[in-house]
Amino acid sequence: MPDKKATVYTSALASGNEMSEVEILVEPAESFEDYEEAWLACMSHVHWIDDRGPFDYHSDEELEEIQDAFDKPENTFLVARLDDDEIVGVLGILSDDKTGRIRNWEPGVPPFERGCGVADALMRFGFSFLKDRGVERVKCRLRYPLDRPELISWHAQLYDSFGFKKSGSMSVTLLLDLSLSIPQPTPENIVVKTLDDFTLEELSELTVTAFASTPEDRAVHGFYSSVTDYDQSLQIQQAIRNGKFGHSPADFWRVAVVNGEPAGLLIGWIPEFKHRPPFGIIGELGVSPNFRRIGVASLLVNQINQLFLEHGCQYSWVGTPEINRGGLELYQSLGFVPIIGLIEYEATL
């Protein structure tokens, strides 16, 4: 755990027509067991604790990740108490070299404690800890059910007050129940090949062509260097091939060829999550501008869905920027349902 010890913050609290001062003690938790107890108490109001969908966060999974990270000196797990020793907030911060990250849905502060500066004290301590470690930027995210945007309003306002800015466009996650997927015949003018037929260098070139060839494409995908920069694309594809994100055999890499020319690419994998039903992820789907609107994308999606089914998956999962209207229309036309919104934030220290 970090060398930085307890800090007392003073906050003004309005009570009726009078103002009073509240002292908030923030300190790193001494053990995972102590932090677990505090985390469960301060996060009990969060929607995914007791009333979660199959693809929401899971409390057991979150606690397992916290336990794995707890004893690493680059991380800190903070507990806030009032002067009567009542626990009123928690905040987990992870750091790696020059970048820090705030854990999911944190700071965790019960709604009835949000008016006395608890979250502000936790964030100030966390930022101070990161600055002492030489961290230059901090990231966080808000991932929420699309039909309940009000759930993120408090955190969004808090992040804004600490200088966080949105990093890129909001992403939308769509889900397909694979029992509804119907096999589609391959048109005669399209040949579908796999990773066995191409080098990663060739597929990275196709990726950049598909995602960054036109001004319209760059406006949608320009924030995502993994698909618009050749070197970054190659690095990500090497990681996928090596199994970093899950099971991705050669036939999960679908390459459409039209008139002998690579026209489109889809890369899929099956991640390992013990707290979610089995599902496959469409990690990348792109079609070269010269071959759009001839059925390449829908064919590749249909084929990977059939492969996911053959490998025991119940769902197919895909994410795309909210501003990618064409992509959203395509997925919904194939039966995918938008379920999750994801906003990434970043602040400079």
For 321-335, write each residue's pLDDT tens digit: 999 999 999 999 999
Taking only the tens place, the pLDDT of each residue in 43-75 is 999 999 987 888 999 999 999 999 999 999 999
**89 shares its domain with 199:** no
Give domain status of residue 107, yes or no.
yes
Say what the pLDDT of residue 6 is: 78
DSSP 198-250: S-HHHHHHHHHHHHHSSHHHHHHHTT-HHHHSHHHHHHHHHHHHTTSSSB--G
Q: What is the DSSP string of 139-186?
A: EEEEEEETT-GGGGHHHHHHHHHTT-EE-SSPEEEEEEEGGG----PP
Using the predicted structure, report yes or no on whether residue 236 has a pLDDT greater than 60: yes
Q: Indicate whether 170 belongs to any domain.
A: no
Look up the domain containing 69 and give its range.
7-163
Position with higher pLDDT, 14 vs 157: 157
Among residues 136, 163, 190, the one where a domain terminates is 163
- pTM here is 0.90
Q: Tell me which long-range contacts 56-60 makes (C-beta under 8 A, separation of at least 24).
A: 56/145, 57/104, 57/105, 57/143, 58/275, 58/276, 60/275
pLDDT over threshold 80, residue 17: no
- Say whether both 210 and 333 belong to one domain: yes
Boundary (domain end) residue, out of 116, 133, 163: 163
State the chain's mean pLDDT as an integer: 93
How many folded domains does the chain comprise? 2
How large is the average pLDDT for residues 230-234? 97
Same domain, 288 and 182: yes
| pLDDT of 2 strictly over 80 | no
Q: Look at residue 20 in the predicted model and tell me its pLDDT.
A: 67
Residue 108 has pLDDT above 70, yes or no: yes
pLDDT at 179 over 70: yes
- Is 15's pLDDT higher than 60? no
205 in Cβ contact with 230 (< 8 Å): yes
Question: Which helix H or strand E contains 304, and what residues bound it?
Answer: helix 296-310
Is residue 2 in a domain? no
157 shares its domain with 219: no
Confidence of residue 1 (pLDDT cuts 50, 70, 90): very low
pLDDT tens profile 180-194: 998 989 999 999 999
Predicted local distance difference test score (pLDDT) of residue 296: 97
Is 151 in the same domain as 14?
Answer: yes
CATH number reported for the structural domain that contains residue 251 in this entry: 3.40.630.30
Do residues 142 and 285 both lie within one domain? no
